[in-house]
Amino acid sequence: MRVLIIGCGYVGLPLGAELARRGHEVFGLRRSASALDELRAAGITPLAGDITQPGDFAWLPGNVDWVVNTVSSGKGGAAEYRAVYLEGTRHLIDWLAPQSLGKFIYTSSTSVYGQSDGSLVDESSATEPAGETSQVLVETERLLQGAARTRDFPAVILRVAGIYGPTRGHLFQQFLRGEARTAGDGSRLLNMIHLDDVVGSIIAALDHGRTGDVINVSDDEPVTQLEFFLWLSAKLGKPLPPSADEDAQRKRGLTNKRVSNARLKSAPGFTLKHPTFREGYTAEMSRLGLI
Ligand SMILES: NC(=O)c1ccc[n+]([C@@H]2O[C@H](COP(=O)([O-])OP(=O)(O)OC[C@H]3O[C@@H](n4cnc5c(N)ncnc54)[C@H](OP(=O)(O)O)[C@@H]3O)[C@@H](O)[C@H]2O)c1
């Protein structure tokens, strides 16, 4: 297959490498000419372009079979989210809908679930987040679902939990630096997924996904922040992080929910490599020589 990865970064690069290893022809788009050598070494043809600029589509390769949109606005605010996720996706649909595309995968986020009562959420749960940036992701999903319904656009939406793996995992990095803080009583739930399993879920969706599918990509064990820190402390022989003001955390409008991965686990062609953070972070600690 000819595959175009839009936003060939932390997730897109290892995804492209694996697809190239499987014999697919892979193109990887970024705005900058950064990581050219890294992309080429992974068997990916690097492309430069910006999906917020419709004019940039003129020189993208046509006749692609699969497109994966793993673009990220980084830490941008609502305006940046709107430009990159919503308008960027609109430009992609307009460009791709007239072509005979086989599959379009979009990596959304479990932040579309605004629930804050610790309840279990699955793909049929309400997506009414309080945060403006998460609302843009909900709008982007609706745009894709509309295109799937009315234009038979072959979109599959993956709602991805907090990604961790080499060099990533915000709380883990803070913990290692001695800067982590337990929010209040630490009862907020974290939903995580290892990079390897994000890549695996995208490949399974490319191979088997059906137009309009929505799938949560999260591991088997949502865990409270306190439990996570207790496990890290025991594993690394370091002290438990001190508590921080819970009100400050609450003001940030953080969600608190348990994300169901039942649909992911019954999806054809997919098995979790790291069923929980315990296996995933043990692998990461070994990689870093910490254990
Ligand atoms: N990280 C998480 O915990 C998490 C959780 C849930 C969902 N997700 C989703 O997972 C996906 C992958 O995230 P990631 O961590 O791999 O992101 P990343 O490392 O920041 O990679 C994103 C890539 O997109 C490129 N890019 C940014 N704006 C662009 C634009 N306008 N046009 C073309 N390329 C652009 C960036 O390269 P340049 O800067 O060179 O353009 C970068 O290579 C994203 O859709 C993200 O929203 C992530």
User: pLDDT of 23-46, one tens digit each?
Assistant: 999 999 999 887 889 999 999 999
At 274, the pLDDT band (50, 70, 90 cuts) reads very high
Distance from the alpha carbon of residue 215 to the mean position of ligand 1, in angstroms: 19
pLDDT at 252 over 70: no
Kind and range of the H or E element at 128? none
Say what the pLDDT of residue 35 is. Answer: 87
Domain enclosing residue 269, as ranges? 2-165+193-222+258-274
pLDDT at 246 over 90: no
Mean pLDDT, range 214-229, rounded to an integer: 98
Q: Is 107 in the pocket of ligand 1 (CB under 6 A)?
A: yes
Of the candidates 202, 76, 198, the one whose C-alpha atom is nearest the C-alpha of residue 88 is 76
What lies within 8 Å, CB to CB, of 55 at 6+ separation is none
Of the candidates 10, 257, 262, 18, the one whose C-alpha atom is nearest the C-alpha of residue 123 is 262
Q: Is 72 inside any structural domain? A: yes
Q: What is the mean pLDDT of the chain?
A: 95
Ligand 1 pocket, mutate which of 71, 109, 110 (most atoms under 8 A from CB): 71
pLDDT at 247 over 90: no
> Comparing 16 with 63, which gets the higher pLDDT?
16
Distance from the alpha carbon of residue 276 to the mean position of ligand 1, in angstroms: 24
Q: Is 291 inside any structural domain? A: no
Q: Is 185 inside any structural domain? A: no
Between CA 209 and CA 212 the distance in angstroms is 9
pLDDT digits (tens, 9 = 90+) for 73-130: 887 899 999 999 999 999 999 999 999 999 999 999 999 999 999 999 999 999 999 9
Lowest mean pLDDT across 8-12, 62-66, 235-239, 244-248: 244-248
Between CA 74 and CA 3 the distance in angstroms is 23
Q: Is 68 in the pocket of ligand 1 (CB under 6 A)?
A: no
SS3 label, residue 76: coil
Say what the pLDDT of residue 94 is. Answer: 94
pLDDT at 202 over 80: yes
Distance from the alpha carbon of residue 237 to the mean position of ligand 1, in angstroms: 34
Q: Is 150 inside any structural domain? A: yes
Q: Is 107 inside any structural domain? A: yes
Q: Is 15 inside any structural domain? A: yes
Q: Is 29 in the pocket of ligand 1 (CB under 6 A)?
A: yes
Contact 105, 68 (CB under 8 A): yes
Q: CATH number, domain at 52?
A: 3.40.50.720
pLDDT digits (tens, 9 = 90+) for 155-179: 999 999 999 999 999 999 999 999 9
Q: What percent of the chain has pLDDT over 90?
A: 89
Q: Is 250 in the pocket of ligand 1 (CB under 6 A)?
A: no
The total domain count for the chain is: 1
Contact 65, 2 (CB under 8 A): yes
Say what the pLDDT of residue 154 is. Answer: 98
Between CA 81 and CA 11 the distance in angstroms is 18
Q: Is 10 in the pocket of ligand 1 (CB under 6 A)?
A: yes
Distance from the alpha carbon of residue 10 to the mean position of ligand 1, in angstroms: 7
Contact 180, 204 (CB under 8 A): no
Q: Is 289 in the pocket of ligand 1 (CB under 6 A)?
A: no
Q: Is 166 in the pocket of ligand 1 (CB under 6 A)?
A: no
Looking only at the bridges linking them, the beta strands covering 258-259 and 120-121 are: parallel
Can you name the residues that pair with 194 across neighbouring β-strands?
Answer: 164
Distance from the alpha carbon of residue 81 to the mean position of ligand 1, in angstroms: 11
Say what the pLDDT of residue 128 is. Answer: 97
Q: Is 240 inside any structural domain? A: no
Cα three-residue angle 71-195-207, rounded to 5 degrees: 75
Contact 140, 87 (CB under 8 A): no
Q: Is 85 inside any structural domain? A: yes
pLDDT at 250 over 80: no
Residue 227 burial (CB < 10 Å; 0-12/13-18/19+)?
middle
Atom of ligand 1 nearest to the CA of 162: 3
Q: Is 53 in the pocket of ligand 1 (CB under 6 A)?
A: no
What ranges make up the beta strands (E) of 87-219? 103-109, 120-121, 155-160, 162-164, 182-183, 189-190, 192-194, 214-217
pLDDT at 20 over 60: yes
Contact 101, 67 (CB under 8 A): yes
Distance from the alpha carbon of residue 7 to the mean position of ligand 1, in angstroms: 5
Q: What percent of the chain has pLDDT over 70?
A: 97
Mean pLDDT, range 46-64, rounded to an integer: 90
Q: Is 167 in the pocket of ligand 1 (CB under 6 A)?
A: no
Mean pLDDT, range 227-253, rounded to an integer: 84
Say what the pLDDT of residue 75 is. Answer: 79
Distance from the alpha carbon of residue 185 to the mean position of ligand 1, in angstroms: 32
Say what the pLDDT of residue 56 is. Answer: 87
Between CA 89 and CA 136 the distance in angstroms is 11
Say what the pLDDT of residue 85 is. Answer: 97
Distance from the alpha carbon of residue 12 to the mean position of ligand 1, in angstroms: 8
Cα three-residue angle 153-11-47, rounded to 5 degrees: 70
Q: Looking at ligand 1, which residue's alpha carbon is closest to its atom 47?
A: 72
Say what the pLDDT of residue 165 is. Answer: 98
